[in-house]
């Protein structure tokens, strides 16, 4: 079945440390992939997206993600985390089936940042 897996439910890092959030997808065709961030009680903000071209994608707020087809992964990274990065992060993939296009999300990873 088509799905998105985020293996880490919670991650805690110290401010200034590097960060990697994992995302694996299951989809037979070339994927459109996204990372979103959500602060408590807020809507979603798009961090970055991938659909073709360079497999290393740069996003907002200093985030980047690398698409690895062989591993069906699209991990999100940041070299130095700021306290304001504490939020929930969602990986998503576009599923196109039967002429319909829908966006499927992973369960999310909640990031806590220690001072």
Partner 1 sequence: DGGITQSPKYLFRKEGQNVTLSCEQNLNHDAMYWYRQDPGQGLRLIYYSQIVNDFQKGDIAEGYSVSREKKESFPLTVTSAQKNPTAFYLCASRPTKNNYGYTFGSGTRLTVV
Single out the segment in contact with partner 1 by CB under 8 A; choices: 16-24, 34-42, 68-76, 78-86: 34-42
Give 19's DSSP letter.
E
Positions in 51-90 near partner 1 (CB under 8 A): 51, 90
For partner 1, the binding residue among 9, 14, 28, 115 (CB under 8 A) is 9
Nearest to 35 by CA among 12, 8, 4: 4
- Quote the CA–CA distance of 36 and 29 in Å, as a whole number: 22
Interaction of residue 39 with partner 1, rule CB under 8 A: no
Nearest to 107 by CA among 52, 58, 38: 38
**CB closer to partner 1, 92 vs 111:** 92
Give the interface with partner 1 as residue ranges (CB under 8 A): 6, 9, 32, 34, 41-44, 46, 49, 51, 90, 92, 94, 96, 99-108
């Amino acid at each position: 079945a088509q799905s998105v897996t985020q293996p880490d439910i919670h991650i805690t890092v110290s401010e200034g440390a590097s960060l990697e959030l994992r995302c694996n997808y299951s989809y037979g065709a070339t994927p459109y992939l996204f990372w979103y961030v959500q602060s408590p009680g807020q809507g979603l903000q798009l961090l970055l997206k991938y659909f073709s071209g360079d497999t290393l994608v740069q996003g907002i707020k200093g985030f980047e993600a690398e698409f690895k087809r062989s591993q069906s992964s699209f991990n999100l990274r940041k070299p130095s985390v700021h306290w304001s990065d504490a939020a929930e992060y969602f990986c998503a993939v576009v599923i196109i089936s039967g002429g319909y296009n829908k966006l499927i999300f992973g369960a999310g990873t909640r990031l806590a940042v220690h001072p």
